[in-house]
Amino acid sequence: MLAEAIKTYQTRVNGILNQHLTQLDDAAPDLKAAMLHGALLGGKRIRPFLVYSVGEMLGVNINALDKAAAAIECIHAYSLIHDDLPAMDNDALRRGQPTVHIAFNEATAILAGDALQTLAFEIMTAPCTDLHPKQQLAMVRALAKASGYQGMCGGQAIDLSATDNSIELTRLTELHNKKTGALISCAVELALIAADIPDEHYQLMMKYAQTLGLAFQVQDDILDITTSTEELGKPQGSDQQSNKSTFPKLLGLEGAKDCAEQLIQDALSALTKLPYNSQLIADFAHYIVERRL
């Protein structure tokens, strides 16, 4: 059931992204091609999956979730394009394919990331009969906060400053709660805004989202040292080579695995307190720490 749902939502959001990108005019063909390359190169679409699965679990019409799913993936794609740049992580491979600055050039990659970021908010603010304007505004605010200084960009800045330096576990946790966890939490939050659920349920779902987001990053750190370049689709051991602080580096490999498992148990515990059929997103939590790429 989980694999089928992942594929279904992946196909749906890919179609929406492709529609938005291909309908752009051809005034800047290289930029358009770079945006397509960065956004449609592949990927698990974890953030759109959470938007769709949580939203449908809460009874939201799937049409009301399309904009949020596409917008958050635009933000994610932009972040990866910029992460891969020489000034950041300097990666030449992403999902087994040349990164955008390798396939095109640095300037085009920067612009492609910029344009995908703004496209996200263009998509999110387009008229939608399935959502109240107040809900759309709340979604825009949530996505902007998760993407910027208080979220992903702030986490990236901490990550850059921590490279070649030793940091404590609390600082590493803060780093990844922002850099990776903020967008994953936001994906759930966007669905919650569309559903307009009671505050108590909202807080429990955000607990699920936050622990899931951190578990995702812990597992990513583990995979960086246990999985091959071919499986990962990017250079194996790149975190070690860049001398980045990671959970295995601070906790040891087995300690990192225990940490990821405990985070998932915390996420599942939050779900047990909710009156919804949460089996799909519970299965997804298990998938996060069992995945191999």
Q: Name residue 173's amino acid.
A: T
Is residue 227 scored above 90 in pLDDT? no
What is the distance between the alpha carbons of residues 43 and 180, in angstroms, rounded to a whole number? 15
In eight-state DSSP terms, residue 91 is -
**HSE-up of residue 115 (Cα within 13 Å, Cβ side):** 20
Give the number of other CB atoms < 10 A from CB of residue 169. 12
Question: pTM of this prediction?
Answer: 0.94
Q: Which two tokens stand for residue 16?
A: 């929406």
Amino acid residing at 200: E
220 vs 260: CA distance, rounded Å? 10
Q: Give pLDDT tens digits for 62-89.
A: 999 999 999 999 999 999 999 999 999 8
User: What is each CA distance from 257 to 22, 170, 181, 271, in whole angstroms?
Assistant: 42, 17, 18, 22
> Of 22-26, 76-80, 92-96, which range is least confident?
92-96
**54-63 pLDDT tens trace:** 999 999 999 9
Any bridge partners for residue 97, and if so which? 94
Length of the chain: 293
What is the distance between the alpha carbons of residues 218 and 266, in angstroms, rounded to a whole number? 14
Q: CA end-to-end span of the chain, whole Å?
A: 19
Fill in the DSSP letter of residue 93.
E
Q: What is the mean pLDDT of the chain?
A: 94
**How far is 220 from 35, CA to CA, in rounded Å?**
25
Residue 169 has pLDDT above 80, yes or no: yes
| The pLDDT of residue 236 is above 90 | no
Q: Which residues are CB-neighbours of 202 under 8 A, at least 6 positions away?
A: 192
Average pLDDT estimate for 196-222: 96
Residue 293's pLDDT is: 73
Q: What is the 3-state secondary structure (H, E, C) of 10-75?
A: HHHHHHHHHHHHHCCCCCCHHHHHHHHHHHCCCCCCHHHHHHHHHHHHCCCCHHHCHHHHHHHHHH
